[in-house]
Each structure stands twice: as C-alpha cells, then as structure tokens.
Structure 1
Amino acid sequence: MSSESNITVLYFAAASTATGLTEQSIALPQNPFPLSSLASVIISQHPNKGLEKILGTSQWSVDAEMVDDPEKVLLKGGQEVAVICPVSGG
C-alpha cells in the first residue's frame, strides 16, 4: 500500500499511555475513510488496552484543526490526526 494511503496518528495523555506510542502510521482500510471509523481501527491494533473508553471521550484534530463532527470528515491519506484526550486540572 502506498504511503499516500497512510495517516499519522498522534497520541497524547491517556491514549499515549494506553498504546505505549506517541505517534503511529496507520494504513487506511479504504480511501476515503471516515474519521468516525478510525477509533475502531486503532482499537483493533491495540486490543485490551482500554482504548474504547479513552477514544469514546476524546476529540480529534486533523492537520491541526479541531474536528467538531467526525461523521463529516473523510480521511484521504497523508493527514496528521491527533487524539485529544480530556484533561482535568486543579
């Protein structure tokens, strides 16, 4: 598969801890590929890591732009997708 069909996923906070990675290249199963389906791909590559809950509460950014509605975003390869986990502070 060509690198043009890959995306780079950046992991922060709990997502980084769960995967043990700060970034990963992921081949898109189809092109274009809906961002809303990316969580299932990530979970399948990192089973039994608790990612279902982490990704379910996280936000996404694509090429440094926050995504309001993942259902409306199609990934075409070459993009950088960040998993932005919720943070708490005090």
Structure 2
Amino acid sequence: MSESTQSSITVLYFAAASTATGLTEEIVLIPSNGLPLSSLGDLLISRHLGTDLANVLQSSQWSVDAEMVDEPDSVVLKGGEEVAVICPVSGG
C-alpha cells in the first residue's frame, strides 16, 4: 500500500513566499519516517523551480502548528503538521 510510505504536511505561504509560489497553501508529501524541518526548504524549492522561493526562504523563518521554530535542525516533521513560511515584515 503506497499510503504507508508517505505522509503529508500542509505548507502555508504568506507575503513574498505566496507571491513567489503563486499559492497560499499546498499539501506536501513527506517520507513516512519523517522529514527534518531543515530539509523542507530544499524540497519546496525543488517543487517551485524557476521562482524566487529560494531567496525568500533565506530570510524567512518556520512555524510548525502555530509555534515559531528557532532551531529547524531540532524538528522532525512526522505528517499532519501545518508548517508556515514566515517572511520578514518591513514596518513603517
């Protein structure tokens, strides 16, 4: 059963990330044994080749289930999470 080899997460895009991808959210399949949050950026960039997403992610932070993540290396996505790309906000 192929369902057992992959799980999924929901990625939310805001501001520049939404502009770069043309999306506000997407479902992303991840391995059933998990995906380090620190690897998610490369996966998303590979899904959106030819966009400015790589540049946007360099200055963005991650949020997992509405909690900001300070150390992406310490988080492993297991499936079912809602991950948001949080772009820097310019004030004025």
Q: TM-score range by the shorter chain?
A: over 0.9
- For residue 34 of structure 2, the aligned residue among 28, 32, 35 is 32
Measured after TM superposition, the shift of residue 30 of structure 1 is 5.2
Q: Is the 8 A contact 1:31 1:77 kept in 2?
A: no
Structure 1 gap segments, 5+ residues each: none
User: Which 4+ runs in 1 deviate beyond 6 A?
Assistant: none
Structure 2 gap segments, 5+ residues each: none
- For residue 59 of structure 1, the aligned residue among 39, 61, 82 is 61
- For residue 25 of structure 2, the aligned residue among 12, 23, 26 is 23
Report the TM-score, using the length of structure 1 for normalisation.
0.93
Higher strand share: 2
Once residues 2 and 85 of structure 1 are traced to their aligned partners in structure 2, the CA distance between those partners, rounded to angstroms, is: 32
Report the TM-score, using the length of structure 2 for normalisation.
0.91
Once residues 31 and 57 of structure 1 are traced to their aligned partners in structure 2, the CA distance between those partners, rounded to angstroms, is: 28
**Residue in structure 1 matched with residue 73 of structure 2 by the alignment:** 71
The residue type equivalent to 2:21 in the other structure is T
**Residue in structure 1 matched with residue 9 of structure 2 by the alignment:** 7
Deviations 1:33-80 (A, max 9, x none): 100000001000000101111001100000000001000000000000
Once residues 51 and 14 of structure 1 are traced to their aligned partners in structure 2, the CA distance between those partners, rounded to angstroms, is: 8
Q: Is the 8 A contact 1:9 1:24 kept in 2?
A: yes
The alignment covers a number of residue pairs equal to 90
